[in-house]
Amino acid sequence: MYVFVLNCGSSSFKYQLLDMSNEHRVAVGLVERIGMKDSVLAYEPAGGEKIKETADIADHEVAIKMVLNKLIDPAVGVIKSLSDIAAIGHRVVHGAEKFSGSVLITDAVIDALKENIPLAPLHNPPNITGIEAMQKALPGVPNVGVFDTSFHATMPPESYIYALPYEWYEKHHVRRYGFHGTSHRFVSERAAQILGIDKDRFNCITCHMGNGSSFTAVKDGKSYDTSMGMTPLEGIVMGTRCGDVDAGIPNYLAANVNMSFADIDNALNKKSGLLGISGVSSDMRDLQKAAVEGNSRAKLAIDVLRHRVLKYIGAYAIQLGRVDAIVFTGGIGENDIAFRASVVERLTTLGIKLDAQANNVRGQEVVVSTPDSPIKVMVVPTNEELVIARDTRDIVAK
């Protein structure tokens, strides 16, 4: 059973084709600059060379047709016919309270996604575009929506209710939703499997750290609390997003610095975080290099990030009561050896000790704490596409 997984943005999309008989990835790629001049299509079949082509791709519908043609191309294709694709799985960012799990896409589901656009104006419209384009390209093939927010649907009210007028929640859906749910779900389940603990009895803190970052307290295998909120802006310091800030700052800037709320929103999302503090880059690799070379603001950005990471780990450890593991994933979590070490070395209050030799790896499943540490610290590379493909397979099978 082949499942096509689509993660659609406004002018780009990532895709994978997976053979779910063995869960192997048979093709992967990316289309960028859709609707612009010199669009780029990247395609890489399993065991083959990466192909990169430049063309003017008018819209998502045209881009998807080009990708599907690559999959069946006699020279570089990986399947004989498009009829081999049994289902399409879509990453959908915001399901709000309407969707607590993955669902088969119907007209009613699409209508509900459109209703949720005010909650995710940057993400849900391209997600819908991808769904509708796939429905045209492969009519009759089932589509499944897998939501970033659904893993966090198990949070109790004390975790998701803001200290705001309660009618804002009742009338306007203002609450914490959380994101990166497929990643938190995958790495928490995989960590439990590695440690030989029943996932339904597993307590951990999952640390998804990349350009966008979020932490989740997982209690008995379910999301109990998470750092991102109603939008992906809240929580940990990120590449260009501010994370937690005083809610009065936008009003102060609007009143005293003559900034519009649109300008402030743009700055909080695209000019803040590691980039805003350092003035160098949103990429930790650039910051580490600049810090070594003596750039004090780059060092400060790294220090601020570490401070916030430790703050969340400490808070979630208290909330959970018992912590079996702390799990790092995402671009920074999986690959930044030095930053990971600098965090774990400060967790001695929890009895944790770093195994420096074990930590000296990138992108591998590994326990980086010593054997006598009461709480295991682990690196588990995430695989959100596999989660989407699994849910798609299971829903279609039913």
Q: How far apart are CA 354 and CA 26, in angstroms?
A: 37
**∠ Cα 373 380 336 (to 5°):** 85
Q: Which is the catalytic residue, given 19, 148, 324, 336?
A: 148
Question: For strand 204-209 and strand 325-329, is the pairing parallel, antiparallel, or unpaired?
Answer: parallel
Q: How far is CA 192 from CA 188, 220, 339, 378, in A?
A: 6, 10, 24, 11
> Among this protein's residues, is 148 annotated catalytic?
yes
The partner residues of 226 in beta bridges, in order of sequence, read 216
3-state secondary structure 227-288: CCCCCCCCCCCCCCCCCCCCCCHHHHHHHHCCCCHHHHHHHHHHCCHHHHHHCCCCCHHHHH
Q: How far is CA 340 from CA 33, 286, 309, in A?
A: 34, 16, 10
Residue type, 275: L
Among 351, 292, 353, CA closest to 323: 351
Q: How far apart are CA 81 and CA 178, in angstroms?
A: 39
Strands (E) located in the chain: 2-8, 13-19, 24-32, 39-45, 51-55, 85-92, 103-104, 143-147, 204-209, 213-219, 222-226, 325-329, 366-367, 376-379
> Which string of b and e fits 340-371 if b means at least 16 CB within 10 Å?
bebbbebbeebebbbbeebbeeeeeebbbbee
What 8-state DSSP symbol labels residue 354?
B
Q: Which residues are catalytic?
A: 148
